[in-house]
């Protein structure tokens, strides 16, 4: 099967390439190959590629910048998805689109299910929800959250850098969700594709924590591996202590039971995957 991966150089795009099954004949593209904001260019590229399956791992993810640049975020997160869906509709192909917990408002008392109503509170969340609306019934939507991977910019690597530079970091403790190791997400996407799944599924690692909890664990695990050279101080902050242009969901835990039931695999605890990622990071030097 011919599979086109967009966002090839990002955390998920890279992980999808590393974990690809034997049945996938992959071509992976990024911004240097095609401008997703140019619908004509994107359409032409899709005609040339003629994929059976598109896995759209590309996104505008600058959450705060999107508040003042919503048009660009919409072009990448929504309009480009529509172009991909139109191209697949003409050839009989399928789109696998990756979305986010930011499509929810963060007020639920329990983990969000795939079918729960969306109410995005930021420009980023709005444009990702609009991208979801471009999909057809035969396409596949996978929502995730707090993605990280070795060797690329993300919260985990930022924390390690700041801990080494300053010895002390402040992290919000009143925003709760679950991290997602990009490798595990990629494996889930391939598994759902192989099952020919359609509709909406969720994937994140198992467990409910705050960003502060995550930072404390990063400090402990990174120090054990020698990635942090001294014992850092991690201070809890409130969202009010750390104001940002975009409003973050206070609670964005995703209910992944539907995904785990279909794939027949276990929910991997977030700390287990964090340790694996940091072991990879240590090997990178």
Q: The CATH number of the domain where 104 resides is what?
A: 3.40.50.720
In a domain, 275, yes or no: no
In a domain, 162, yes or no: no
In a domain, 224, yes or no: no
Can you give the pLDDT of all 285 residues of the chain as single tens digits? Answer: 999 999 999 999 999 999 999 999 999 999 999 999 999 999 999 999 999 999 999 999 999 999 999 999 999 999 999 999 999 999 999 999 999 999 999 999 999 999 999 999 999 999 999 999 999 999 999 999 999 999 999 999 999 999 999 989 999 999 999 999 999 999 999 999 999 999 999 999 999 999 999 999 999 999 999 999 989 999 999 999 999 999 999 999 999 999 999 999 999 999 999 999 999 999 997
Whole-model pTM above 0.85? yes
What distance, in Å, lies between the first and last C-alpha atoms of the chain?
36
- Which one from 60, 112, 124, 212 is the annotated catalytic residue? 124
Q: What whole-number distance in Å separates Cα of residue 229 and Cα of residue 275? A: 17
C-beta of residue 186 within 8 angstroms of C-beta of residue 16? yes
If one counts the domains in the chain, the total is 1
The contacts of residue 185 (CB under 8 Å, 6+ apart) are: 12, 15, 142, 144, 147, 203
Instruction: Tell me the residue range of the domain where 65 lies.
Output: 2-149+179-206+252-267
3-state secondary structure of 25: strand
Q: What whole-number distance in Å separates Cα of residue 45 and Cα of residue 127? A: 23
Q: Does the annotation mark 124 as catalytic?
A: yes
In a domain, 233, yes or no: no
Q: What whole-number distance in Å separates Cα of residue 85 and Cα of residue 51? A: 12
Task: Show the tokens assigned to 144.
Answer: 């995730």
In a domain, 155, yes or no: no
In a domain, 232, yes or no: no
What radius of gyration do the chain's Cα atoms show? 19
In a domain, 55, yes or no: yes
In a domain, 273, yes or no: no
Helices (H), 105-252: 123-133, 155-166, 182-194, 211-224
C-beta of residue 261 within 8 angstroms of C-beta of residue 119? no
């Amino acid at each position: 099967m011919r599979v086109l991966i967009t966002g090839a150089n990002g955390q998920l795009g890279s992980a999808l390439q590393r974990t690809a099954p034997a049945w996938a004949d992959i071509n992976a593209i990024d911004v240097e190959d095609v401008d997703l904001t140019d619908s004509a260019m994107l359409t032409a590229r899709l005609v040339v590629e003629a994929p059976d399956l598109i896995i759209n791992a590309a996104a505008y993810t600058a959450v705060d910048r999107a508040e003042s640049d919503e048009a660009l975020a919409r072009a990448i997160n929504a309009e480009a998805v529509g172009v991909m869906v139109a191209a697949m509709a003409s050839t009989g192909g399928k789109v696998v689109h990756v979305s986010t917990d930011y499509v929810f408002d963060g007020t639920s008392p329990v983990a969000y299910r795939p079918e729960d109503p969306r109410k995005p509170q930021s420009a980023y969340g709005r444009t990702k929800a609009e991208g979801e609306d471009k999909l057809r019934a035969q396409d596949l939507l996978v929502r995730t959250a707090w993605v990280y991977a070795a060797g690329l910019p993300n919260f985990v690597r930022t924390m390690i850098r700041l801990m080494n530079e300053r010895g002390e970091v402040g992290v919000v403790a009143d925003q709760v969700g679950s991290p997602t190791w990009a490798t595990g997400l990629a494996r889930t996407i391939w598994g759902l594709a192989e099952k020919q799944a359609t509709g909406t599924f969720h994937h994140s690692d198992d467990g409910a924590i705050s960003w502060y909890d995550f930072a404390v664990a990063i400090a402990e695990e990174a120090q054990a591996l020698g990635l942090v050279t001294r014992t850092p101080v991690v201070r809890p902050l409130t969202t009010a202590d750390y104001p940002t242009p975009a409003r973050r969901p206070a609670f964005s835990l995703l209910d992944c039971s539907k995904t785990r039931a279909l794939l027949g695999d276990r929910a991997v605890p977030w700390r287990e995957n964090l340790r694996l990622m940091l072991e990879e990071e240590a090997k990178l030097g």
